[in-house]
A and B are shown apart, each in its own frame.
Chain A
Amino acid sequence: GQNIDQPTEMTATEGAIVQINCTYQTSGFNGLFWYQQHAGEAPTFLSYNVLDGLEEKGRFSSFLSRSKGYSYLLLKELQMKDSASYLCAVRDERADKLIFGTGTRLQVFP
């Protein structure tokens, strides 16, 4: 079956670091994506991992371990505008589609 798990909600303070975890069990794997979605808006692409390891892009980093079916998104120097939902999605190679987790709603407080 297909299953992607991420925490429902997280809170953090401005300037801090937060790590959002994602575990997955899918029938096929061809990459893991992280998207950011502000309320009422469409998702915007943040990162893509297909090989194990850490991908860094400015304040955001994403890590993947394929053997553990695990990824995390790391957000540094949090800003108020980072308050949003963060969606973990796995590309199922066989079905050729993205399978989304339920998303993690992050609230950043001053």
Chain B
Amino acid sequence: GAVVSQHPSWVICKSGTSVKIECRSLDFQATTMFWYRQFPKQSLMLMATSNEGSKATYEQGVEKDKFLINHASLTLSTLTVTSAHPEDSSFYICSARGGRGASQETQYFGPGTRLLVL
């Protein structure tokens, strides 16, 4: 149980385009979802926290107009990187916390999405 999926796993795009990443909790209802970014050989940096049906809370230094987060249901959250630039190239990982069907304390991570902006 407690499986989180992400799609796509890889994205290569041109500078200036927008990229949408989906995060789904497959077998539990996620009341809270988190979006992280990780650069090579560095730890996870929290970008934002989102609760179903409400606006995301962004960490300091993360532009909310550039990284749009939607958490429309208890099993789906999306991150849209708008007008992506090469410096946005990174490993984006979502995690979800339950909810019915999973531990309420533990965050379960998706497999990550590797974004490369040319």
Q: Give residues in A with beta carbon < 8 Å to B.
A: 30-31, 33, 35, 40-45, 48, 50, 87, 91, 96-98, 100-103
Contacts and interface: CB of A to CB of B under 8 A. Distances in A.
Contacts of B105: 30-31, 48, 50, 91
B69 interface: no
B: contact size bracket: 10 to 19
Kindly list the 8 A-B residue pairs having the minimum CB-CB distance in the complex, ordered from nearest.
A42-B109, A42-B112, A102-B43, A100-B44, A100-B43, A43-B109, A42-B93, A103-B43
Contacts of B111: 41-42
28 contacts: A30-B105, A33-B106, A33-B107, A35-B109, A40-B114, A41-B111, A41-B112, A42-B93, A42-B110, A42-B111, A42-B112, A43-B44, A43-B93, A45-B106, A45-B109, A50-B105, A87-B44, A91-B105, A96-B32, A97-B46, A97-B49, A98-B107, A100-B44, A100-B46, A101-B43, A102-B42, A102-B43, A103-B43
B34 interface: yes
B108 interface: yes
Nearest to B42: A102
Interface in B89-113: 91, 93, 103, 105-112
Nearest to B111: A42
A98 B43 CA distance: 12
Interface string B18-50: 000000000000001010000000111010010
Contacts of B93: 42-43
Interface of B: 32, 34, 42-44, 46, 49, 91, 93, 103, 105-112, 114
A102 B42 CA distance: 6
A1 to B, nearest CB: 13
Nearest to B6: A42
Nearest to A6: B43
B46 A44 contact: no
